[in-house]
Structure 1
């Protein structure tokens, strides 16, 4: 608005609409006071006639502009004069006009396509992504905040139920038997089962050593009265324990021991049965389902989900971790590629332009309708306050300009009258 002319700028005032209203009103009152004063003392000196003419015309100009400015928003002095309170009376038409303006100048496919053609979306995205997270860029902070807000906003119970349900469903649908058979066969072929056998042998030796009294008791109970009377039961128990210890020791020292070979043969048969035997597959599936139905398994899944969610929240709230590592590096590489590859950049820009045009064509009318209905839904006082708050300060400059310009015109007319 061109209301801030050189006349208004001559008045060194600053402030909001309310302050400017006081300045404009004060200037009008001052002109009225000067006019009344000079009217009674005009005969004292010819120059007072010029002052009186200036104040009189300034008062008229200020009053006229006060009326014009006030009439935009309300009835002057509360009097329902025709063609006043223009904005409240025409708010629906203003909303419709604004909606049509948006549609014709911003929300037509041709306009959007033309303006999108001048915007390098891919280049801007590439520059943004290249602002590496480990250099303190905006990407890591924005992504970290977004990820944390999204995780925090989700219902942990519902989300946890979905995650645990998905895990349970996938496990229930998983045919574990062939997988276990293949893993066992691969372990045997690569010799990775031998540490397991060594561990079993060591565990057997410790078990025997800690339970030799139990073996002696069993032999003593199973032996006849003659053997117990002669003490042969103790000798037999010692022989059994010594024999087992010797066997376990030989198995531990000799990788090619016969019993180890038998165990390996049994493992090989088990690997084949897990892959091919329907009965073995059914037994594994039954065991899998029984484990999944176990309350302990449910509690383990609950704990697993809570730990995972807490870890994700901790990582999301830490900008240095949210986009660190390979994910952050991949984003940086994508950004550099977008800046260096013109064909990729052109493809993405074309896609963005077509998407924007498609959205405009599909939803432009709804956006226009939303603007119109929103303005229609405002009460008269709301739209008056919003418009007056946006342009009220400049409108008070119109009153100041009117007062000053009116005074100068009155001064010029009085001068012409005197000189002629």
Structure 2
């Protein structure tokens, strides 16, 4: 069954009808000329030449009409052998067309040559470098992110994040990695600043709270010791404690610092090699990250990320959107100005296109074959005739003209020879 014609197909159909009318009109005109010339040739001998030309033109016109018509249907509805060629062989035509496209248009060489001539990276870069293009990319990206956030199942996302967190954080032993990291920090002396901060803070606190030291001394001294003696001892302890902390602050090689360094390095080694220390680290990990805490942490993390991301994409002036636009424009400008980067991107695109062509070449070409197979015979014939029928009508016209000239030439030669 025929399908409704599109507007552009309707224009082609009208042009085809006009050409058919012209070709048929020539045949009718030659038929009338032949009748008149045949009737009057005895009275006017020169009309014999006209009759011969008209006769040859009709023969040529009829032969070419038959040939053109036989491509698409049975002439006059008569099922003459080797007519209606296209309807009878539509599946073979579709398969041949699919093979032709596959071999000549979907080859690696053709695709790579076309991509190389286009310069996709440079064109894309020039487009991305424009502010309005970056705005469009940002808007499309924001719409995609909003859609993804709406579609995502929060519970499923939390399960995935929790699984990843457990696999990479909870289930991994903490002792050896922490020991290696601490050992490197201690060897490079990065912890000294932290020690300085602790000592400085302790010294400031001791100086700012002398009554605390005195009270502690008084609370721990025997009840029979006079109060003034407690005060003297407290003051002495305060002075010695300040002197001791000052010495630790001023001397980078103070024995307290050395002892602390030795202890920390030993702790780092134990975390890597001492089973007891490693087991203690695991117990601490289990206390810190038990199941409820892990679940709560993951839930809060995903909620925070989702809220922040949604707020950022909804606000065109957000830092995320602004930075994304800047990154898009910068990348586009680099594609235009950096030939090496553009060549790499073009190579990636060519490799990807080559892979797609090699992998799906038969599937792509198969679309043509399968589409033609789904058409019925009449529809296939109409579609093909619509595309090439107008030019085929010129064959009928040319056949009419050539037939007329041939008929005239043959009659003239025969008349001259056999007179």
Taking structure 1 as the reference length, the TM-score comes to: 0.56
Alignment map for 1:137-216 (pairs within 5 Å): 165-166=163-164, 168-205=166-203, 212=209, 215=212
- 1:67 to 2:63 alignment: no
Alpha-carbon offset, residue 29 of structure 1: 1.2
- 1:397 to 2:398 alignment: no
Cα distance in 2 for residues equivalent to 1:217 and 1:62: 129
Alpha-carbon offset, residue 285 of structure 1: 3.1
Please, which moves more after superposition, 79-88 or 40-49?
40-49
- 1:251 to 2:248 alignment: yes
Match of 1:9 in 2: none
Residues 316 and 322 in structure 1, CA contact (< 8 A), matched pair in contact too: no
Cα distance in 2 for residues equivalent to 1:411 and 1:205: 127
Q: C-alpha offsets along residues 78-110 of structure 1, whole Å, 9 cap, x if unaligned?
A: x354444332133245456778x87xx969xxx
Match of 1:283 in 2: 280
Cα distance in 2 for residues equivalent to 1:187 and 1:59: 103
Alpha-carbon offset, residue 274 of structure 1: 0.9
- 1:19 to 2:20 alignment: no
Match of 2:271 in 1: 274
**Secondary structure in 1 aligned to 2:252?**
coil
Alpha-carbon offset, residue 197 of structure 1: 0.9
Q: Which of 405, 408, 411 does residue 411 from structure 1 map onto?
A: 408
Cα distance in 1 for residues equivalent to 2:12 and 2:91: 28
Q: C-alpha offsets along residues 117-159 of structure 1, whole Å, 9 cap, x if unaligned?
A: xx7999x8xx96xx997xx4889999xxxxx99xx79978599
Q: C-alpha offsets along residues 230-280 of structure 1, whole Å, 9 cap, x if unaligned?
A: 899999888777765554443322223343333223312311321222232
Residues 57 and 399 in structure 2, CA contact (< 8 A), matched pair in contact too: yes
Match of 2:87 in 1: 88
**Secondary structure in 1 aligned to 2:190?**
coil
**Secondary structure in 2 aligned to 1:22?**
helix
Q: Which of 245, 259, 277 does residue 262 from structure 1 map onto?
A: 259
**Secondary structure in 2 aligned to 1:36?**
helix
Cα distance in 2 for residues equivalent to 1:140 and 1:163: 39
Cα distance in 2 for residues equivalent to 1:321 and 1:369: 38
Residues 28 and 58 in structure 1, CA contact (< 8 A), matched pair in contact too: no
Match of 1:295 in 2: 296
Alignment map for 1:244-393 (pairs within 5 Å): 246-288=243-285, 290-291=288-289, 293=294, 295-296=296-297, 299-300=300-301, 318=328, 321=331, 375-389=372-386, 391-393=388-390
Residues 24 and 400 in structure 1, CA contact (< 8 A), matched pair in contact too: no
Cα distance in 1 for residues equivalent to 2:386 and 2:231: 107
Cα distance in 1 for residues equivalent to 2:302 and 2:214: 44
Q: Mark the CA change 1:299 to 1:286 in structure 2 (over 3 Å): closer, same or farther.
A: farther
Q: Gapped runs of 5+ residues in structure 2?
A: 1-10, 129-137, 314-319, 346-353
Alpha-carbon offset, residue 380 of structure 1: 1.9
Cα distance in 1 for residues equivalent to 2:298 and 2:410: 100
Cα distance in 1 for residues equivalent to 2:414 and 2:340: 84
How many matched pairs? 356
Cα distance in 2 for residues equivalent to 1:36 and 1:203: 122
**Secondary structure in 2 aligned to 1:255?**
coil
Q: C-alpha offsets along residues 277-333 of structure 1, whole Å, 9 cap, x if unaligned?
A: 2232123334445448253356447878998xx99x9599848649979xx999899
Alpha-carbon offset, residue 61 of structure 1: 2.9
Alpha-carbon offset, residue 382 of structure 1: 4.3
Cα distance in 2 for residues equivalent to 1:32 and 1:301: 83
Q: Mark the CA change 1:232 to 1:26 in structure 2 (over 3 Å): closer, same or farther.
A: farther
